[in-house]
Structure 1
Amino acid sequence: MKTRLSLALGALAASGFAAALPATAQQAQPQLRTREIIVFGNDPCPRATDDEVVVCARRPEKDRFRLPEALRPTGPPQLSQSWSARSKALATVGQTGPGSCSGVGPAGTDGCALKEIQQGVAERTEQDTADTAPE
């Protein structure tokens, strides 16, 4: 049954069925080009022309120079720590002597107090940034 129907439709198309359609159905509608733009603050939205449609999304002025939301880092700040901060920790591995926070060498324990102070400052800074409301 399906083969007879497809043969009948094929025969109609071959016999010039398309020529029997009205002229308006045969003419293709002109394709309008769509342009999507993000504007910030009070910036004007560009005007549309005859062959294009302009769609504007308005964002606040404070987002003008920010990374798009899809590209912003997510997760805890420890995962987005810079390589320079990571390399500082690796540079002091195995260090001995004054300011090194090791039991080896003269005045090695002086570095332990400095390390604790720096760690406390870093923790306080991290806590302050976590407590502040986002803009």
Structure 2
Amino acid sequence: MLRPILFAMLMTTPGLAAAQSAPAADPPQRIRSVTLTPGQACPKGSDDEIVVCSTLDQPYRIPKGLRDTGPIAAKNQSWINRAATADQVSRVAGGLPDTCSPIGSSGGTGCALQANQQWAAEQRAKRSGSPNAP
């Protein structure tokens, strides 16, 4: 008596499982990335595409107030920058050419170069509106 009931239940179980599994929707065929200007609305995508919008006013993930724009500390610089700094310091200390140093031969040839570089730095500071500009 129990055997025919169990047999009937087992036979109908796969049918129930098949009836519950509906065909899945097709995945999107296209993903479109759109960069917007401030005030522009994100366009609507069609049924088979996803639209990802980003704005130009914040191209970075770090907020503008938290970004550090000052000089990079020596411990955070690459070894190539550290080597270049050490090279420049030893050039000045040794009085090599283009160093604007009273020590050594041709040490004075770099004074005009150094004055021009300082002037260019001052002009960049004025254009950028830096508070340290003279």
Q: TM-score range by the shorter chain?
A: 0.3 to 0.5
Using structure 1 for the length normalisation, give the TM-score.
Answer: 0.42
Using structure 2 for the length normalisation, give the TM-score.
Answer: 0.42
